[in-house]
A = this chain, B = another copy of it.
C-alpha cells in the first residue's frame, strides 16, 4: 500500500495538509432513522472546523460569508448573496488546508444491506440496483455535508471516490489517484470525500469505507494530525453503555502493528504489551477504527478520537491536545517512537 501510495504521489509537491477530519456517520446522522441528518451535530462540526481554520483562538468569530447560494426546502425567496461583501475581502482569512471525509450513518447502509452490495456481484439485477441506490443515498449526504460546510464559509468541494476513479481488488484499495484532491487543495478548496460504492476487480463492486479512505490519504499526504469525530467520547475498554467502561485516553502503536494502552494504566496491562481488553463502542465499528487509526499512527501522525460538538472536538480540530493533563476527553493514538 505504501508503495502504491508513493507511486501515485503527484509530481507537483502538494502543500502540506494540516488535518484530515473524519465526520463519523454516527456523529452526523440519526442512526435509527433512515436518511436523517443530525443537523445540530453537523452544524457544530462545521462551525468548529471554521474556528480551527481561522486560528483566532477564542476570539469572537468574524462575519461568516456563506458559500451555499442554493435554495433550501421551504425557502420563500432566492438566496441573498452578499457580492459586495465578498468583493471587499482581501482573502478568506482561513487556513483551508483540511480534508473532510465522512461516513454514511443512516445513509447508504439501508440500501447496501438490502442488496448485499459489499459482497459484490454486479451481474445480478438486485446488486446492480442496490449499487445505484446506495450511491444515490451516500452522495445525497455528501451534498448536505458540502452545503453545511459552505454555509460556514468553508470552500468545500464534494469528491466522490467512485467519480475520482478509485477502485478495489477484493476490497483492498488498488487504484486511488489523489490528483483531483491535491489540485483542489492547491486551489484553496476543502475536498469532501465519503464512504462510497466502488468497482472491485474481483468482486465487481464493493463498499469502500471512509476509514480506509482516510488511511490512504494519510499515507499519501502526511497530515499533521487526523481527527475522528464520533458520537462517543473516544475508545473504551468495553461498551460505553457498561457503567464500568473506562475511556482509553492514550494508545501507543508499535512498528509491528501492536498497540498498548498508555493511559490510564489498566489492571494487568503493561506498557508495550498489547492489551487483552477488547475495545468497543456502540457503533460496532470501533475495532476497525482502531486498526485504521493504528495504521495512521504508525506513520507518525497523531490520531484524535473524540465526541462531536464538544470543547474536546474543537481542541482536537485545532491540533491542541495535551495528554499530560486530564481536561481533554478523548483518545489519542500515536506512534511509540
Contact = CB atoms under 8 A, between A and B. Distances in A.
A135 B122 contact: no
Contact of A155 (B78, B110, B132): B132
Contact of A150 (B81, B125, B136, B164): B136
13 contacts: A35-B70, A67-B133, A69-B110, A70-B136, A73-B73, A81-B114, A83-B126, A87-B124, A131-B155, A133-B150, A140-B143, A159-B163, A164-B180
Given A91-B125, A188-B128, A147 B158 contact: no
A271 to B, nearest CB: 45
Contacts of A125: 65, 86, 89, 91-92
A184 to B, nearest CB: 8
A4 interface: no
Contact of A199 (B65, B115, B140, B187): B187
A28 interface: no
Contacts of A132: 67-68, 150, 155-157, 189
A91 B183 CA distance: 40
A129 interface: yes
Contact of A165 (B131, B147, B179): B179
